[in-house]
Amino acid sequence: MRGTVLCLAFVCVLVGAAQPATPTEHAEKTCSSLDQAYELAQNGDAEAQCWLARQYEAGLCGLCKDGPLAVVWFKKAAEAGRAEAQFALGIRCFFGIGVPQDLAQAVYWLHKAALRNHAEAQYRLAGCLEDGLGTSADKAAGVFWYTRSAELGYPQAQNMLGILCIKGLGVTRDAQAAAQWFQKAAMQGYATAQFNLGCSYEKGEGVDKDREKALYWYGKAARQGDADAQARLEAF
């Protein structure tokens, strides 16, 4: 079974309710409201602060690309309790993007976002706890946050939980539960989980042995460029 590692993959997503657009929501969609967004951000609007941070980070809306200044605005939004900003700040602290690398601070902000049900933050926090990065290693806490993230539907966490279940790492070994988690992630199009589910069907681990289903899931993963799945198809 194959897992994943902590990687640089972060998105600051702003989601609004189905209601008339507020000035901040309008600012999300067009650079013509940059001045208005800046004023909102200066007045403590966390959503506008996060939006402004992304513009500085990418050098959009006529702004000079400025990683450290992006971090300043992410931090303001994070301190105001904006989960996606807390996550973004945690990732930047982890990799040293716009700030000196600080794994302890990364864990601090990831934990803040995780408590606000940010699924990817929960997944990243679990990895830090599992490997003792920026904090003392705590396998049980790692499993807890992988589970929280998986239950929110985050496919990488579902796949990782499947791996822990099938290997009995931090949890009771349960091949059936592993296959169920692989299935959930595979149905979302996550290639690694599709490969792992193919392995489950090929070996009959947690599911009835089924060559056709193994080929199906290997094929799904292979079409996404998964080298291991491509190799298994050739072996078949």
**pLDDT for the residue 6:** 39
The predicted-structure confidence for 71-125, as pLDDT tens digits, reads as follows 999 999 999 999 999 999 999 999 999 999 999 999 999 999 999 999 999 999 9
| pTM assigned to the model | 0.84
Alpha-carbon distances, residue 197 vs 14, 17, 160, 183, 206 (angstroms): 33, 36, 12, 6, 10
Is residue 27 predicted with pLDDT exceeding 70?
Answer: no
Band (pLDDT 50/70/90 cuts) for residue 236 is confident
**pLDDT for the residue 32:** 72
**pLDDT for the residue 31:** 75
Is residue 16 predicted with pLDDT exceeding 90?
Answer: no
Look-up of token digits 């003392």: 136
Token pair for 202 = 């090929």
**pLDDT for the residue 30:** 63
DSSP alpha helix (H) spans, the chain: 23-29, 34-42, 46-58, 67-79, 83-95, 103-115, 119-131, 139-151, 155-167, 175-187, 191-203, 211-222, 227-235
The predicted-structure confidence for 183-234, as pLDDT tens digits, reads as follows 999 999 999 999 999 999 999 999 999 999 999 999 999 999 999 999 999 9
CB atoms within 10 A of CB 116: 15
The predicted-structure confidence for 29-84, as pLDDT tens digits, reads as follows 567 788 898 999 999 999 999 999 999 999 999 999 999 999 999 999 999 999 99
Say which residues have a Cβ less than 8 Å from residue 145's Cβ, sequence separation at least 6: 114, 122, 123, 125, 126, 129
**pLDDT for the residue 3:** 62
Dump the DSSP string for 61-111. Answer: TTPPP-HHHHHHHHHHHHHTT-HHHHHHHHHHHHHTSSS---HHHHHHHHH
Mean pLDDT on 147-174: 97
Is residue 8 predicted with pLDDT exceeding 50?
Answer: no
